[in-house]
Chains A and B, each alone.
Chain A
Amino acid sequence: MRFLRASTAGIAVMTVLRIVSAGPGVTLQDGGRHGYLRFGVTAAGPMDPLAFATANAAAGAERDATAIEVSLGGVELAADTAVSVAIAGGAFRIEIDGRVLPHAAVATLEPGQKLAIRPGEAGAWCYVAVAGRLDVPKTLGSTATHTRSVLGGISGRALAAGDVLPLADPRILEPRLAALDVPWFAREGTAIRVVLGPQDDYFTEAAIAAFLAGPWTVSARSDRMAYLLEGARLAHGKGFNIVSDGIAFGAIQVPGEGLPVVLMADRQPTGGYPKIANVIGVDLGKLAQLRPGARISFAAVTIEQAVAARRAEALALSRPIAREPLVRSEFPSEFLLGVNLVDGVTADGTEEDARS
């Protein structure tokens, strides 16, 4: 097995990443369990697909490689071998042995060090991708955790203190410690873009206008399956029961009580409530990163606009991610926020290693 290496004593040992502590809702996710929706199997996968892809790209991992999705519960990790990780997502507080890192960073964990990721000033999900591979078994072709159907991850459950994740081909990235220049996390404004339908004809024009205008407040009962929205109830034009049909990521269904429910990564593959609109692909992560209490509205766009936004995002992701080596022991706040880092080195680390 490739994750075996010779120890100094000459005995093969397994290199691992250890979960020192984990709050509720920290899971392993890969690109998702695709191909089985027709059998009732949820795809799962990352809540913020862009942040997940960014972390894996920065780690030099496969696009859909298994990463740790950190919830607001936070996590502490340790490795028994030196290994680099890339971290991206919401504005979490990231520390290695007390040293605070930027919100999007490459960090190298030495044996004995502890990486702590806790909720910061904004954001609900953060991804830890490894330079190497988390070697966990696949179920139905995927490692994505779906706790409701007990599939993926470790025994189909969220990560917990004491879990040991086999680490294959651990590598060290240069520079060992760097801020990532990821301007696409700016995600300004509170409007979430949607394409209306497929059952917008179940709502009156006034209800559609009220739906778009909001404002909606993200409910504290939201989770990986659905974000529940609170606000003024919407009126259905012709009832709230439809013959069950497919549900896409970001579908916004409106059950009988009239409050929209946005179906997220752990959604059921089919359902029987009318869906007024669907969040566009590039705004899924923006919505996912909102915490309970956040206020939003919706903006209707065309399919063409939604596809153009996807194309722009794919182009940005296809370029090497610039990195700014971290050498200072203290950073000004604008540095920690990851802004103005356009002069950083490129992902292949062509500039000198700034460690000294």
Chain B
Amino acid sequence: MSSGQTVTYPRYLDAGEAALVVEFGDSADPAINAEVLALDSALLALEIEGVRETVPTYRSLMIHYDPLVLAREKLVEAVEQIEAAHPQTSEPKTLWTLPCCYEPEYAEDLYQIAELTKRAPERVVALHSGAIYRVYMYGFAPGFCYLGGVPDALKISRREKPRPPHPPNTVMLGGGLTLVATFSMPTGWYLIGRTPERMFAPAREPIFLVEVGDSLAFEPIDAATFASLEARAAAGEIVAKRKRLR
């Protein structure tokens, strides 16, 4: 993209000779993400030989393919045909409500977030648990779930330097998004709460709790409730509430 040029989407970009990136925009936006997911389901439904795996992200779909079975131009052609037919962008199918403990012990950075957003910690919790989020994508590590729809008042940048590791199943805030982080690791995000729910549990069915494109909300719980739900989740139970939307 040279300066001043308008970009026409979708764009077809190559990540080597075995992955095609179909890009629908350059921002994390629900409408763009819906286009990504519409292409994803339409493409997977075709079961094209040589398509190995697809990875939907905020604004693009990465299609891993075997170039010895499926030539790039054939793949692009298939995508163009899908796009020409304007695939249906589906509404979220499920609303998940994740229990989330915002008490200080479970929300180490809550006071820092309150300072950055110039709001009382109670107000931060009310805002975060009052919103309905869209599951934009998984990424980074198994079950790491990136959520859009953060209230404007809570849109803060990520940290300039990572903070020490957070516990598993921490809910975090940063870069205008919120995230459920399944594994403990150092992070550039702010810790706002913790859920007893497992977004990823290899021994459970479903292994991954939510689908990309689902809606998700957080319900505040106290420490005692956290402890009891944590024990049930550890035993393999799903403790989030699931509501079918259509």
Per-position binary interface string of chain A over residues 246-280, scored 1 when its CB falls under 8 Å from any chain B CB and 0 otherwise: 11111100000000000000001111000100111
Interface size of A in residues (CB-CB distance below 8 Å): 45
Inter-chain contact B15/A198, CB cutoff 8 Å: yes
Inter-chain contact B141/A278, CB cutoff 8 Å: no
Inter-chain contact A243/B208, CB cutoff 8 Å: no
User: Which A residues are in CB contact (< 8 Å) with B146?
Assistant: 244
**B142 at the binding interface (Cβ < 8 Å):** yes
Inter-chain contact B15/A151, CB cutoff 8 Å: no
Inter-chain contact A40/B144, CB cutoff 8 Å: yes
Residue pairs across A and B with CB atoms within 8 Å: the count is 133
State A8–B173 Cα separation when bound (angstroms): 64
User: Which B residues are in CB contact (< 8 Å) with A39?
Assistant: 138, 142-143, 200, 207-208
From A281, which residue of chain B is reached at the shortest CB distance? B18
Which of A108-116, A177-185, A302-310 interfaces with chain B?
A: A302-310
Interface centre among B16, B72, B202 (most CB of A within 10 A): B16
Inter-chain contact A151/B18, CB cutoff 8 Å: no
From A195, which residue of chain B is reached at the shortest CB distance? B16
State A80–B142 Cα separation when bound (angstroms): 37
From B17, which residue of chain A is reached at the shortest CB distance? A306
**B242 at the binding interface (Cβ < 8 Å):** no
User: Which B residues are in CB contact (< 8 Å) with A246?
Assistant: 15, 19, 21, 55, 57, 60-62
From A201, which residue of chain B is reached at the shortest CB distance? B1
User: Which A residues are in CB contact (< 8 Å) with B59?
Assistant: 243, 245
Per-position binary interface string of chain A over residues 285-319, scored 1 when its CB falls under 8 Å from any chain B CB and 0 otherwise: 00000000000000000010011001100100000
**A355 at the binding interface (Cβ < 8 Å):** no
**A37 at the binding interface (Cβ < 8 Å):** yes
User: Which A residues are in CB contact (< 8 Å) with B16?
Assistant: 194-195, 248-251, 278-281, 306
From B27, which residue of chain A is reached at the shortest CB distance? A243
Per-position binary interface string of chain A over residues 131-161, scored 1 when its CB falls under 8 Å from any chain B CB and 0 otherwise: 0000000011000000011010000000000
**A23 at the binding interface (Cβ < 8 Å):** no
**B123 at the binding interface (Cβ < 8 Å):** no
Inter-chain contact B17/A281, CB cutoff 8 Å: yes
Inter-chain contact B137/A270, CB cutoff 8 Å: yes
Per-position binary interface string of chain B over residues 48-66, scored 1 when its CB falls under 8 Å from any chain A CB and 0 otherwise: 0000111111111110100
Closest Cβ of chain A to B15, distance in Å, is 4
From B1, which residue of chain A is reached at the shortest CB distance? A201
Inter-chain contact A269/B72, CB cutoff 8 Å: no
A interface secondary structure, majority: mixed
Closest Cβ of chain A to B171, distance in Å, is 16
Inter-chain contact A38/B56, CB cutoff 8 Å: yes
State A34–B21 Cα separation when bound (angstroms): 18
Q: Which of B15, B141, B144 contacts A248 (CB 8 A)?
A: B15
Q: Which of A40, A201, A249 contacts B139 (CB 8 A)?
A: A40
Inter-chain contact B53/A35, CB cutoff 8 Å: yes
Given contacts A41-B142, A248-B18, A269-B140, contact A198 B64 (CB under 8 A): no
User: Which A residues are in CB contact (< 8 Å) with B145?
Assistant: 40
State A41–B140 Cα separation when bound (angstroms): 8
Inter-chain contact B140/A37, CB cutoff 8 Å: no
From B144, which residue of chain A is reached at the shortest CB distance? A40
User: Which A residues are in CB contact (< 8 Å) with B55?
Assistant: 37-38, 246, 269-270
**A231 at the binding interface (Cβ < 8 Å):** no
User: Which B residues are in CB contact (< 8 Å) with A139?
Assistant: 202
**B122 at the binding interface (Cβ < 8 Å):** no
Closest Cβ of chain B to A29, distance in Å, is 18
Closest Cβ of chain B to A200, distance in Å, is 9
Inter-chain contact A248/B64, CB cutoff 8 Å: yes
Inter-chain contact A269/B139, CB cutoff 8 Å: yes
Inter-chain contact A40/B143, CB cutoff 8 Å: yes
State A320–B72 Cα separation when bound (angstroms): 30
Closest Cβ of chain B to A157, distance in Å, is 15
From B13, which residue of chain A is reached at the shortest CB distance? A198
User: Which A residues are in CB contact (< 8 Å) with B15?
Assistant: 197-198, 246-248, 251, 275, 278
Chain A contacts with B in 11-46, Cβ cutoff 8 A: 34-42
User: Which B residues are in CB contact (< 8 Å) with A149?
Assistant: 141-142, 183
State A247–B53 Cα separation when bound (angstroms): 12
State A270–B141 Cα separation when bound (angstroms): 9
From A36, which residue of chain B is reached at the shortest CB distance? B142
From A150, which residue of chain B is reached at the shortest CB distance? B183
Given contacts A34-B53, A245-B58, A248-B62, contact A40 B141 (CB under 8 A): yes
**B43 at the binding interface (Cβ < 8 Å):** no
Inter-chain contact A38/B212, CB cutoff 8 Å: yes
From B72, which residue of chain A is reached at the shortest CB distance? A303
Given contacts A270-B140, A307-B67, A314-B68, contact A38 B19 (CB under 8 A): no
Chain B contacts with A in 205-246, Cβ cutoff 8 A: 207-208, 212
**B80 at the binding interface (Cβ < 8 Å):** no
**B115 at the binding interface (Cβ < 8 Å):** no
User: Which A residues are in CB contact (< 8 Å) with B19?
Assistant: 246, 248, 278
Pick 16 A–B contacts, CB within 8 A, sort by A: A39-B142, A151-B202, A198-B21, A199-B13, A244-B57, A244-B58, A244-B139, A245-B59, A246-B60, A246-B62, A248-B16, A249-B16, A269-B138, A270-B140, A303-B17, A306-B17
> 6 closest pairs, A vs B, by CB?
A246-B62, A278-B16, A270-B139, A198-B13, A306-B17, A40-B138
Query: What would 14 more interface pairs be, CB under 8 Å, given A38-B53, A40-B139, A40-B144?
Result: A38-B55, A195-B14, A197-B14, A198-B13, A245-B60, A246-B15, A248-B16, A248-B62, A249-B16, A251-B15, A268-B140, A268-B141, A281-B16, A307-B17
